[in-house]
């Protein structure tokens, strides 16, 4: 999994990026392929590299579209973000600086944003009995928030009430024995391979 971009651009850098996006950028949502992206394509390399430093994303080195070959077009460079969390992060930064036309273009893409984009934690505002929040935190490598920790505790408190201590102990014992048997089986297979 690619490491998340953590640099926080200054207000001046955000204004610069918004100006660049205003002149050269685009935001697209393809219903057919259910994909989306924000991109800037231009013939100058330095501004594209700077966008990558400010907001992360993908950098595409000099390329010429097949229809432009042999027609005198200069090679282009491209910056692109396509994950919802990246699109949202960039949009939240530059949106106030954009013209109404560019804002409408971004709004037309954001209207298709799923309720909980992949990679977004989407923690509940109040604790609810659930283990999902803690699992999302663990999966994304983010320390759990208080709400998800309390939700986890509520879930297990309700589970203890519902099942009783004896039933939980019986289930835990069954899981332990199942894991132990699986490990023994795997060790037996590995010893057969080494012999």
Residue 40 sits in the same domain as residue 77? yes
Which tokens is 83 given?
């994950």
In angstroms, the Cα distances linking 54 to 24, 28, 63, 79, 81 are 16, 21, 22, 11, 12
Yes or no: say if 152 and 131 are a contact pair by the CB < 8 Å rule: yes
Range of the domain at 106: 11-110
118 inside domain:
no
- Residue 70's pLDDT is 80
DSSP 64-82: --GGGTTTTPPPEEEEEE-
**pLDDT value of position 1:** 43
What pLDDT shows up at residue 43? 93
Helix (H, G, I), strand (E, B) or coil at 74: coil
93 with 153, same domain? no
First to last CA, the chain: 37
Averaged in consecutive runs of 10 residues, what is the pLDDT profile of the chain (195 residues)?
74 96 94 84 95 93 82 91 89 96 94 71 80 82 85 88 86 91 82 60
Is there a domain that residue 33 lies in?
A: yes
Q: Which 8-state DSSP code applies to residue 126?
A: S
Same domain, 184 and 140: yes
Q: For residues 14 and 51, give the distance between their C-alpha atoms in angstroms, rounded to a whole number.
A: 10
Reported residue count of the chain is 195
CATH classification at residue 33:
3.10.28.10
Count of domains forming the chain: 2
Determine the pLDDT at residue 116.
64
């Amino acid at each position: 999994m690619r490491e998340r971009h953590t640099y926080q651009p200054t207000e001046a850098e955000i204004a610069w990026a918004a100006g660049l996006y205003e002149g050269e950028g685009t935001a697209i949502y393809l219903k057919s392929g259910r994909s989306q992206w924000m991109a800037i394509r231009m013939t100058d390399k330095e501004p594209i590299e700077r966008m990558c430093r400010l907001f992360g994303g993908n950098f595409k080195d000099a390329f010429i579209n097949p229809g432009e070959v042999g027609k005198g077009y200069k090679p282009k460079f491209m910056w692109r973000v396509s994950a919802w969390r990246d699109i949202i992060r960039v949009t939240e930064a530059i949106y106030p600086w954009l013209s109404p036309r560019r804002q409408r273009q971004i709004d037309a893409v954001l209207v298709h944003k799923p309720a909980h984009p992949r990679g977004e934690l989407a923690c509940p505002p109040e604790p609810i009995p659930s283990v999902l929040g803690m699992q999302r935190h663990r999966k994304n490598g983010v320390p759990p928030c208080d709400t998800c920790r309390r939700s986890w505790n509520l879930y297990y408190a309700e589970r203890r009430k519902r099942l009783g201590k004896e039933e939980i102990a019986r289930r835990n014992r069954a899981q332990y024995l199942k894991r132990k048997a699986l490990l023994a089986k795997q060790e037996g297979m590995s010893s057969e391979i080494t012999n």
